[in-house]
Amino acid sequence: MNVAGVSHFRELAQQHLPNFLFQYIDGGAYQEQTLEANRADLRDMVFRQRALVDVTEMDLSTNLFGMDMSMPVGLGPIGLAGMYRRRGETMAARAAVRAGLPFVLSSLALCDLEEVGAAINAPFWFQLYVVKDRGFVRDLIQRAKDVGCTALFHTVDVPVTAVRWRDIRSGLSAQPSFAGGIKWWWEILTHPSWAWDVGVMGKPHGCGNLTPVMGKNPKLNDYWKWVGQNLDASITWKDYDFIREQWDGPLIIKGIMDPEDARTAASVGIDGVVVTNHGGRQLDGAPSTISMLPRIVEAAGDKLAVTMDGGVRSGGDVLKALACGAKGVFLGRAWAYALAGAGEKGVDLMLAQIRQELASEMAMCGVTSVQDIRAQDVLDPRTLRDIRDV
């Protein structure tokens, strides 16, 4: 498979998917300023290239939230991944296991906890939305424990659903209409490989984890309606008493973008945070994740394991995040593009390329272990000034 880089997988994904699904993966909120900032700020960072350093032996391994990892990269939670390839979450989870990396299953996945657990027969992690029905939340956490999930990621940056102009234009989140229905069917019929693989053979198309409250065959528009009506906008830091009553393993908050929130997370016994703006899909006009990472790392000190996502498309991007203090980096769109564009083998190849790129960039910066990465050793002085002046 001659695919080189995440941007190439993106091209393949666009070819394979009906437009409404590609735009869902690819787009962000409103004018997509935050989406663009995530990539632009990573691109603008400059490495410090070193020479004549013995880089014969490279060690990319690490441990995060009790899991030994072959490199400090994980597959973050992606909603509806089973709509990109047949039972897509199981494909990505198997690829993560083969690579020695963690997989985080979304609450809004097509494949439910039990299906993923049976497919990989290995520990994985689970992402949780807290909804108004606390009984359902309690049962969902128990299901995660029963299938062997070892870390729980609570997403906090979706108190309400954002308006995403691309999804409105594509018809994914708009009210159904006759003309819109014709457009959807045209997109499906002109993508026969996807229509057979997912549309016919990939059933059921319901979000498996929500089956107890939504049934087996709701329409996509029904999900947006249900999520909008059931996300609990009243949740506060006090609700971690409830979550801790249900979960005694590593608990990570996904969606921290402010140093004060990081300090509060440490004070209530959280184990880690993911610095993320939801891939630019929520608050448009928010800063990029890489620009906020150093300040949140400083605020967290040694009380929290700080990770990040947002705009990461290469091993070089991973190295930049590690240099800014992240203990690990989660891929989102990168694995969604790879899955949609080339299936399970695509995710395998994408992860292998990320690993090769990370090792290569580390070597040229004169660093041989991810445990030894420091900003001053890896980043050019101009970049250091920029991130300290943010």
Residue 168 corresponds to which tokens in the numbers above?
Answer: 């409105």
Catalytic choice (16, 154, 191, 278): 278
Sequence-distant (≥ 6) Cβ neighbours of residue 225 within 8 angstroms: none
- SS3 state of residue 323: helix
CA distances from 244 to 156, 239, 247, 251, 348 (A): 16, 9, 5, 8, 35
Distance CA 54, CA 93 (A): 35
Distance CA 352, CA 368 (A): 18
Residue 278 corresponds to which tokens in the numbers above?
Answer: 């939801």
Q: Among residues 347, 346, 370, 374, which one has the least CA distance to residue 358?
A: 370
Annotated catalytic residue 16: no
Which amino acid is it at 220? L
Q: Give me the residue label for tokens 């594509």.
A: 170
Residue 270 gets the label, from left (phi > 0), alpha (psi -120 to 50) or beta, of beta
CA distances from 46 to 205, 233, 273, 277, 336 (A): 44, 40, 26, 23, 27
Cβ–Cβ under 8 Å, residues 113 and 126: yes
Give yes or no for a cis peptide into 294 (omega within 30° of 0).
no
The alpha-helical segments, DSSP class H, found in the chain are 6-16, 19-26, 33-44, 88-99, 113-120, 134-146, 165-170, 178-189, 192-194, 211-214, 220-230, 240-246, 259-267, 289-300, 315-323, 333-364, 375-378, 381-389
Q: Which residues are catalytic?
A: 278
